[in-house]
A and B are shown apart, each in its own frame.
Chain A
Amino acid sequence: MHLRGGLSLYLRNGKVGVYDLSKDESSEQELEETATWESSSSVLIAKQLAEEHGADSLILGTGLLTYSFLPAAAAGLIRGPPDPDGRERIVPVLGFAGSELKLSGFDFVVVKGKAETPGYLWIRDGIIEFVRAPEMLETDSWKRIDRIRADQGDNEIQVMANGPWGDNRIPRSQLVIDYWGGEDKVGMGADFGAKGIAAIAVRGMGEFEVAEPEGHFEDAVLLMREHIQKLGKSEGLASYSAVAERDDFKKLVHRNVACYGCPFPCRSFVKIEEDPQELRLLVKEPGYLHFDIPALEKAFELGLDARTATSAMIVCAKAGAEPYTVLSMAGSSGKVTPEAIKALLADSSVAERLPPDGPPGNFERSFPDGEDYRRCTGLGLCSRYWAKVGFDMGTIGPFAEAVVGRRLP
């Protein structure tokens, strides 16, 4: 059990990893014990770490409840430097990457400085290492993920990968997390590019004690059952947005996929390179996992069918380019074809022609109030799921107290 000041640190590693790319060295610091829900927020702790280590630092973090049994406790985050207007830039880290970051032995990781030679950060089992791999900049985001998993010999390593757009610091770049885009709507790929980071990979064999394991499990399962009864049958992305209710989209859906701990997934995998009903593992890259609602809405608004929209999402993800932006630019030029989109992605002068406004938020717009989004993500919970079932600290508080073993006001 991790102890700080006589208090047990349940569901925490108690450690912040710090990697200085300029000096090529890692260090650790203790995670301070927190006394309130507000001060436990990973959004707030990430901000404090940025103030301590420099505003240009990247902070990876996990919530107090990340990897608990509370439904959809999948969220980690990446915090980058604020935008030119001083607004906070946060990427929610979902799928299994948020929970895997916690299992890697660190609650937070600070990345500062700039690498002399580009490569990827490899975080696992309490170790942070920078692997030089300048040749990675010649490849797309999907090949980077494949390469890291092959080099490290584990197909379940979670990878936050940059692509050529981010390498070139194009402000509307997008990180992909395990091949898929949709979380990064703030151009975090450009921040990776500025530091010479081609990708960040995480894996771990951590384990966590909770104050009342049986109570936490039983109560969380009961809550999940209540949610399921209220939500009804899951239709994947179509359960969260009408954009996925189109017939041509539904015909291509293979399976719906959850993030860690989510009983009502918002991710629908669409197959375009083989029969969507095919169950065997035949084609290595059969399609795309859709959960980027604004990008899909934009594709359909521009007249693309579901197959072409999926194809466009794939090329954007490989390039590390934010698809709403790319589709908007193609639409403005009057050429929304796969060829025109590929040409746009390869255009070295594209940064000069970007639309002035960034894309609409994806998970950010789950709640009408941005503060609820930050509060929910900061606890380690998926904002999309909790906005659907009702985010209420009055409900969550007692469950969380069974995890941490004390009352947090």
Chain B
Amino acid sequence: MKLRIDPLKCICCGLCENACSLNRDSVLTPMSSSIILHIDDKADYFGLVLKTRNEGIVLAKPEGVTTAQQASSSGGPGAKPILLREPCDLCGGKPKCVEACPVQCICAEG
């Protein structure tokens, strides 16, 4: 199983971040999630960054989805960078981010 992200469906609600942390640490916080929003709000440019076990960093930008071993941007030095986070464990087969996403931006496949 893997997560598939359609960034143009994203509405930037942040529920995926919070759901991921809830599964990992049973607390509400954006800090321990494997998936984070990337936002340039003034330009209305936003998408998701996901740390995976097998594909490295998945960058779901509005113009397309790419993978990389290092993220070029992850919310700035004031936030916990994606590289310091745990990779997605798919919540043991029932990904919480998929459940929480109101617009089917994140889907589980395979």
Contacts and interface: CB of A to CB of B under 8 A. Distances in A.
Interface in A233-278: 234, 254-265, 269, 271
A281 B40 contact: yes
A270 to B, nearest CB: 9
Interface stretch (B6-14, B51-59, B82-90): B6-14
Interface in B52-110: 62-63, 75-80, 96, 99-100, 102-103
B14 to A, nearest CB: 5
Interface of A: 11, 67-69, 96, 99, 103, 124, 142, 146, 149, 152-157, 178-179, 203, 205-210, 213, 217, 221, 224, 228, 234, 254-265, 269, 271, 279-281, 283-287, 289
Nearest to A95: B41
A75 B90 CA distance: 30
Contacts of B12: 257-258
A157 B78 contact: yes
B19 interface: yes
A209 B27 contact: yes
A209 B26 contact: yes
B103 A254 contact: no
Contacts of B18: 67, 69, 261
5 contacts: A217-B100, A261-B14, A261-B15, A271-B44, A289-B44
A257 B11 contact: yes
A96 B75 contact: no
Contact of A179 (B13, B32, B42): B42
Contacts of A258: 11-13
Contacts of B44: 254-255, 257, 269, 271, 286-287, 289
Contacts of A286: 43-44
B96 to A, nearest CB: 7
A207 B40 contact: no
Interface in B10-31: 11-15, 18-19, 21-22, 25-31
A269 B43 CA distance: 9
Contact of B75 (A146, A155, A210, A260): A155
Contacts of A11: 28
A298 B70 CA distance: 48
A263 B13 contact: yes
Contacts of A265: 11, 13
Task: From B8, B13, B14, B62, name the one whose CB has the most chain A CB atoms within 10 angstroms.
Answer: B13
A154 B79 contact: yes
Contacts of B43: 281, 283-286
Nearest to A288: B44
A99 B12 CA distance: 14
Interface residues of B, number: 39
A259 B27 CA distance: 20
Contacts of B102: 224, 228, 263-264
B22 A217 contact: yes
Contact of B31 (A153, A207, A255): A207
A157 B77 CA distance: 11
Nearest to B19: A217
B22 A155 contact: no
Given A255-B44, A261-B14, A154 B62 contact: no
Given A207-B21, A207-B29, A217-B96, 9 more contacts: A11-B28, A99-B14, A152-B78, A209-B27, A255-B11, A256-B11, A261-B13, A262-B11, A279-B8
- 7 A-B pairs with the lowest CB-CB distances in the bound complex, closest first: A154-B78, A263-B102, A207-B29, A269-B44, A258-B13, A154-B76, A279-B62
B39 interface: yes
A152 B78 CA distance: 8
Contacts of A99: 14
Nearest to B100: A221
Contacts of B8: 255, 279
Contacts of A280: 62-63
A281 B45 CA distance: 6
B105 to A, nearest CB: 11
Task: From B15, B39, B96, name the one whose CB has the most chain A CB atoms within 10 angstroms.
Answer: B15
B42 A285 contact: yes
Nearest to B27: A207
B42 A103 contact: no
B63 A279 contact: yes
Task: From A203, A217, A287, name the one whose CB has the most chain B CB atoms within 10 angstroms.
Answer: A217
Contacts of A234: 11, 103
Contact of B13 (A156, A259, A283): A259
Contacts of B99: 217, 221
Given A69-B18, A155-B39, A281-B43, A262 B13 contact: yes
